[in-house]
Amino acid sequence: MRRLIVMIGLILAIMSPARAEWRHARTDHFILTIDDSEENARDFAVRLERFDAALRLLYGVPDNPDQHLRPVAIYAFKEGLFFAACRCPAMAGFYSARTDSSFIMTLHLPNIDRKAKTGGWSSQALLLHEYTHHFVSTNFPIAYPYWFQEGFAEFNANTSFEKDGSLIIGYPANYRGDGLLNGSKPSLKRLFDPNQYGYGDNPDLIYGYGWLLTHYLMLKPERRGQLAAYLSAMNAGVPSLKAAQQAFGDLAALDKELSGYRRSLLLAPLRVPPGKPVSAVVTTLTPGEAAMLPVYAAMRTGGSKLYRIGLAQSAQGIAKRYPDDAVVAAQLAEIETVARRFDKADAAADKALAVDPNSVLALLQKGSVGIARAHEAKASDPAVWTAARAWFLKANRADPNQVMPLYLYYMSFVSAKTKPSPGAIKGLMRAAVLAPESDDVRMALAKQFLLDGDAATARTLLQPIAFTPHSLRAKNIPLDALHLIDAGKAEEAKALLTKGDEDDD
């Protein structure tokens, strides 16, 4: 068993080439981590920033300075490290909306991208698809059906970056062509009401037909405004299928139009004119940070208890080689916290703070370990909880615009089964502004508004969570709570959402 644990960690530690030059390229909305030259890292990050600017111009989204405080992390990995870190052989990238820091992990395949034709599969298209999810969840946090979530991401993913600085968005997703032309066609009822009619066994069809329907509704002049009407009705509480019938009219006619559209010349994509010049600041990771990167990235993708312990053991070996690197020590503390090896996490956090007393990550681990110990001991002494949550206050003073100190401070009261202070509630509301994509923050704040008697605001917060795709066999508690609120049963919705808070983990 011990040998297996060690091997799990070591296999990730050796995936990063010893002479790799890992870079951070920082723009207003991104922190790119990539093993490439400084010039290539800068060009990559600037291209991402141009894409964000184009989406803002195209969809009328003003830049939000709060988002500069919380750029999305992009991990662009070559094949060996990517598959070792994500353990996802059937995927080439994914988006994780997290409370601590949302990130995208993607394959970096520059040789394939250089040869790819517009509308063909590339790691760039995949990355733009995943970033669209982040863009939507941070700028338009409302309820979306599954077909549109993926269809809209595919619509934006197929983009070309022109030499004059313009972008052309909405090219055909040609890599979906075989499935669209030769695969079994899902009914519109399945697209509009998968909870009743099923998502189907082939997600590629949902992606493909979601893209086709989105492309048609967005670009067909005669259908202008219908998509917005559909989403507006959904967010007013109208069931998706009924909202579709209201907005699109005869669904049989729409289905017939869509069948013809998939075999015809598609409508022209959208050209977005050049925006303001953008820049990126590129730094090189320290040797310790570069060595820890594979293990830290793997930790962020989750895993079993055994796997997490293996990562922690591997991280311990790396940290011993770089004893004076505060970032390495703080990351080790986080990895140990996730592995629930609290004594080792505490010691690593102390080591990081000895080098950098303002390390927010290390301060958070001190608080998290303290709260976990108090929770496990079922501590009844308020002073124990106060001492533990004081670390979150220190982290907040070190950086007032970090989400996790605000969120964890509030949740410390939930763990202690005591009423959150007004300051904790205010902090949670600020966390929701900084991290609108975080389901954890939204859920916590929705519960708080229900406790305070504001069911309408709680409903708004629950909508994006409730309409996230769920398995037909999975219980969708946020959606059940939303239905209770719509039925005027706010007390029952509150009881449903807070039931888990009454029990110990």
Q: Answer whether residue 199 shows pLDDT above 80.
A: no
Please report the pLDDT score of residue 19 as a whole number. 55
**Residue 127 Rama label (left phi>0; alpha psi -120 to 50; beta):** alpha
Please report the pLDDT score of residue 97 as a whole number. 95
Q: Which burial class, exposed, middle or buried, applies to 286 when counting CB atoms under 10 A from its CB (0-12, 13-18, 19+)?
A: middle
Interval 381-410 mean pLDDT:
97
CA distances from 334 to 32, 85, 122, 144, 364 (A): 21, 17, 34, 34, 9
Largest Cα separation within the chain, whole Å, is 71
Confidence category of residue 118, pLDDT binned at 50, 70, 90: confident
Please report the pLDDT score of residue 505 as a whole number. 43
Confidence category of residue 31, pLDDT binned at 50, 70, 90: very high
Please tell me the distance from the alpha carbon of residue 305 to that of residue 268, in angstroms, as a whole number.
50
Task: Report which of residues 199 and 160 the model is more confident about.
Answer: 160
Lowest mean pLDDT among 204-208, 269-273, 294-298, 497-501: 497-501
Please report the pLDDT score of residue 231 as a whole number. 95
Tokens of 48: 């991402």
Lowest mean pLDDT among 146-155, 166-175, 483-492, 493-502: 493-502
Please report the pLDDT score of residue 114 as a whole number. 85
DSSP conformation letters of 385-446 = HHHHHHHHHHHHHH-TT-HHHHHHHHHHHHHHTSPPPHHHHHHHHHHHHH-TT-HHHHHHHH
Interval 65-86 mean pLDDT:
94
Spatial strand order of the sheet with 159-161 comes to 159-161, 167-169, 270-272
The helix/strand/coil state of 77 is: strand
Q: Any idea which residue has 């990995």 for tokens?
A: 77
379: number of Cβ within 10 Å: 17
- Is residue 248 within 8 A of residue 258, CB to CB? The reply is no
Interval 184-208 mean pLDDT:
78
Q: Answer whether residue 392 shows pLDDT above 90.
A: yes
Please report the pLDDT score of residue 10 as a whole number. 46
- Please enumerate in sequence order all residues whose Cβ is within 8 A of that of 262, keeping only pairs 6 or more positions apart, or say none: 180, 181, 212
Q: Which stretch of DSSP H or E encloses residue 271? A: strand 270-272
Tokens of 40: 């290539």
Please tell me the distance from the alpha carbon of residue 437 to that of residue 465, in angstroms, as a whole number.
10
Confidence category of residue 178, pLDDT binned at 50, 70, 90: confident
Residue percentage of the chain with pLDDT more than 70: 92
Query: What's the chain's Rg over C-alpha atoms?
Result: 24
Confidence category of residue 288, pLDDT binned at 50, 70, 90: very high
Task: Report which of residues 1 and 171 the model is more confident about.
Answer: 171
Q: Where are the alpha helices (DSSP H) in 62-193?
A: 65-68, 79-86, 110-115, 123-139, 146-157, 177-182, 188-192
Confidence category of residue 180, pLDDT binned at 50, 70, 90: confident
- The per-residue pLDDT of the chain, averaged, comes to 91
Confidence category of residue 6, pLDDT binned at 50, 70, 90: very low
Please report the pLDDT score of residue 14 as a whole number. 45
